[in-house]
Amino acid sequence: MSRHELLSPEGLRIDGRRWNELRLFEARLSTTTAADGSSYVEWGNTKIICTVAGPVEPKMGSNRSQDGATVVVEVCFAAFSGNDRKKRARGDKRVQEMQTALQRTFSEAILTQLHPRSEILITLHILSQDGSVLAACVNACTLALVDAGVPMSDYVVACTAGSYFVRGGNNPEDEGEDPLLDMNNLEEADLPSVTVGTIGGGEKITLLQLETKVRLEKLEGMMAVALDGCGKLRELMDEIVRAHGNEVVRRIAL
């Protein structure tokens, strides 16, 4: 896939979106009855199941802390989730890095001091990956934690943004870089992208991950676009949570 096709001259991206459009974000809560909280997130073709167990008594003594609950995150990539079948070992460095990032993010957002000497276990199953996997994981975790009734200061929402280099052709003034919101797999493979996670969809950033080279002056633009996306996503997630809450209340009332 050559870079030129990622953004058509008309300004449409490879999947037909404009630069500031999110992919279809759909989520369901309480998908699994066996867990304390669970969610299923479909973001474009990225599909994730998240289950939360806790707060429970820690299985290992080392996870017991007097100060507050310990957050443990487990990420499992299904072998069939990518383009080629690939089984990731449990100690895979990339998976561990994701686990650590999520663990730190949610240790901040969860009011852990309310549950001392306990453990909150978050398990993520990535069924299908099509870009923005870490961001989708964050959103799935948030929804599952809400479902589990774990106290949090606000929604933790994450989104990605990338930067597309526009060649000027004959006119050098047209040359420049365009930010793109919500990267899919093809865009992520070729363009620099940044994952931004915020608490409450505002300006409070809790997670920032940049794995590619990007010009420093472009970073701010990318982050601004990603923050914008976070704000939009927070509204979407809030709608989903409220709709689910109403449904639960309606069922109890019946």
Partner 1 sequence: MAPSTLTTLISPAELSYLRSSLALVPPIRPDARTPTQFRPLVAEIDILPSTNGSARMVWGDGGECVVGIKAEVEPTEPTSYGKRRNWVEVGVEVQGQRDDDPLGVFLGMTVGESLLTPTSTLTERLVITPKFHWKLYIDILLITPPLSHPATLLSLSTNLALRSTRIPRLISESDEDPIFDDDWDASIPLYSITSQLPPITLLVVSVEERNIFFDPTREELSVGDCVLAISLASSPAHDAPKVIGVRTLESGTGGIAADAKDGVVAASIGGVKRRVIKRIIKESLSVGKEVFESLQGVVDAN
Residues near partner 1 (CB under 8 A) are 31-35, 45, 47, 49, 51, 74, 76, 78-85, 87, 90, 123, 125, 127-130
123 vs 195, beta carbon nearer partner 1: 123
Nearby residues of 38 by Cβ (< 8 Å), 6 or more positions away: 29, 30, 31, 32, 49, 50, 51, 52, 144, 147, 148
79 vs 248, beta carbon nearer partner 1: 79
In angstroms, give the least distance from the CB of 167 to partner 1: 30
In angstroms, give the least distance from the CB of 21 to partner 1: 20
What's the longest Cα–Cα distance across the chain?
68
7 vs 41, beta carbon nearer partner 1: 41
- Taking CA atoms, 88 is separated from 80, 98, 112, 174, 189, in Å, by 10, 13, 31, 43, 19
In angstroms, give the least distance from the CB of 110 to partner 1: 21
How far is Cα 204 from Cα 66, in angstroms, rounded to an integer?
28
40 vs 155, beta carbon nearer partner 1: 40
- Other C-beta atoms closer than 10 Å to the C-beta of 57 total 10
In angstroms, give the least distance from the CB of 243 to partner 1: 20
Nearby residues of 253 by Cβ (< 8 Å), 6 or more positions away: none
In angstroms, give the least distance from the CB of 81 to partner 1: 7
Strand spans (E) along the chain: 25-29, 37-43, 46-56, 70-77, 119-128, 156-166, 176-181, 193-199, 205-210
35 vs 145, beta carbon nearer partner 1: 35
